[in-house]
């Protein structure tokens, strides 16, 4: 039980640190760069779904 509480405390602390650093140092997203990433993201998610369906049924 003690290990579980330490693990949860560690996870909570690391997430809080990521949020703090992200709010402080993150740059605003460039719309052109986001459009380029979106162009690749949708097909890759589709491929991932198809592969997971194949893995499930085969």
Q: Is 42 helix (H, G, I), strand (E, B) or coil?
A: helix
Query: How confident is the model at residue 39, as a pLDDT?
Result: 93
Position 2 scores a pLDDT of: 86
pTM over 0.75: no
Residue pointed to by tokens 């690749």: 40
Spatial distance between the Cα atoms of 47 and 55, rounded to a whole number of angstroms: 12
CA–CA separation, 46 and 48 (whole Å): 5
The pLDDT score that the predictor gives to residue 1 is: 84
pLDDT, tens digit only, all 58 positions of the chain: 889 999 999 999 999 999 999 999 988 888 999 999 999 999 999 999 999 999 999 9
């Amino acid at each position: 039980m003690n290990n579980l509480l330490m693990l949860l405390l560690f996870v909570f602390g690391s997430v809080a640190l990521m949020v703090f650093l992200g709010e402080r140092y993150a740059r605003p997203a460039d719309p052109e760069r986001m459009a380029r990433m979106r162009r690749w993201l949708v097909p890759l998610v589709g491929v991932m779904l198809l592969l997971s369906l194949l893995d499930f049924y085969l």
